[in-house]
Amino acid sequence: MYLSQRTILLYVRFLIAFTFNVEVNSHWWSMSNKPLSITLDNHKTKSICEYVEGLSRNQKTLCRRYYNHMSFVSEGAQNGINECQHQFDGHRWNCSTVKDSSVFGKVLKIGSKETAFTYAVAAAGVVYSVAKGCKSDTLGTCGCSRKQRPMGLAKEWRWGGCGDDTDYAYGFAREFIDARERDNLSPRGRKERARKIMNMHNNEAGRMAAVRATRPACKCHGVSGSCSLKSCWYQVPDFRVIGDMLKVEHKRAIEMRMNKRGLIRPRKRPREAPFITDLIFIESSPDYCRRNTRTGVLGTRGRECKLNSRGMDGCGLLCCGRGYRTKMIEVTERCNCKFEWCCEVRCQKCKRKIVQYTCK
């Protein structure tokens, strides 16, 4: 079959564009909505490692080697996404996801402080989930934490129990998550090299946030809860605590610049280099007010706002000065709930009208 030179050129451009988009957009975060195996036929299955678009070459190798870890990686990615959406709920950028392997869409091509947060919170999510998973019989390569008794713990309290193994979880998360950046050995330009450094730094900041949030937890023992004896161990706190820590770091994230070798340094130098727990970014945040298909920004048009709020979810800030629409809507709620012996709560369904405000 004869193909014209123009047809061949268009085909080549399509392949280049397709390859570029898969490389740039797809991400390991997409494991958050993938099953652990995909059935092919007659009970034959192939590992998720062969099907997740977001895994780099070395990540696929690690996925096959640590296949029993992947459910915890998936859970960690979902923890990160959920926490991101909680922390930015009501903001102009609300950490919304898209239905493809990029998870957050084209907006993360921009090296902004919001992108920095997503990398950090996802990495923290993996440390959190794997550390918890080490206490189960699933992994086999790790178990209860072996950290030594911390200073300041009362002498009469027993150091024991099964602690969360953040040492192992940190090491695994570092190997798996950073493999994506390490695979990119020779970034094409200065900006790409700087973005690689940015990503790896924020990955580490997220992992360290999870590790440093770990604190001793204790349980009382004794007759009738007398607490005559306490057993203590290291425990990762609720993930919300880690998310709150990273949100603080997002607010004071450090803008960086690139030099001729592709390294990055602070624009304003209160100190020579950022701390390991700092979030860093290399580009200003885009305008999240208006929809922009080029950058992937969804805009705030149609978003629900709160009329009297002075926060980011208030109609003034969220609607970016464009004003808002008022609409009366009917909602159905549980009401007149009663406890019935034993042991059930029965409720009625009541309808009421409320005023809804949405951005123009």
Domain range summary for the chain, segments of one domain joined by +: 26-299, 304-360
User: And the tokens for 270?
Assistant: 């209160």
Helix (H, G, I), strand (E, B) or coil at 131: helix
DSSP symbol at 204: H
Options 3.40.228.10, 3.40.50.2300, 1.10.580.10, 3.30.2460.20; CATH for 304-360 is 3.30.2460.20
Tell me which residue of 5, 32, 48, 23 sits closest to 129, measured CA to CA: 32
Cα 162 to the center of its chain, rounded Å: 26
Tell me which residue of 259, 283, 312, 354 sits closest to 90, measured CA to CA: 312
Whole-number Å distance between alpha carbons of 24 and 18: 10
Is cis: bond before 335, omega within 30 of 0? no
Whole-number Å distance between alpha carbons of 189 and 121: 27
Identify the band that residue 47 occupies on the pLDDT scale cut at 50, 70 and 90.
Answer: low
Identify the band that residue 251 occupies on the pLDDT scale cut at 50, 70 and 90.
Answer: very high
The model carries a pTM of 0.85
Is cis: bond before 49, omega within 30 of 0? no
pLDDT at residue 3 greater than cutoff 90:
no
| Mean pLDDT, residues 36-61 taken together | 68
Mean pLDDT for all residues in the chain: 84
Contact 131, 164 (CB under 8 A): yes
Which residue did the predictor score with more confidence, 109 or 48? 109
Place of tokens 């059930």: 344
Whole-number Å distance between alpha carbons of 97 and 99: 7
pLDDT at residue 284 greater than cutoff 50:
yes
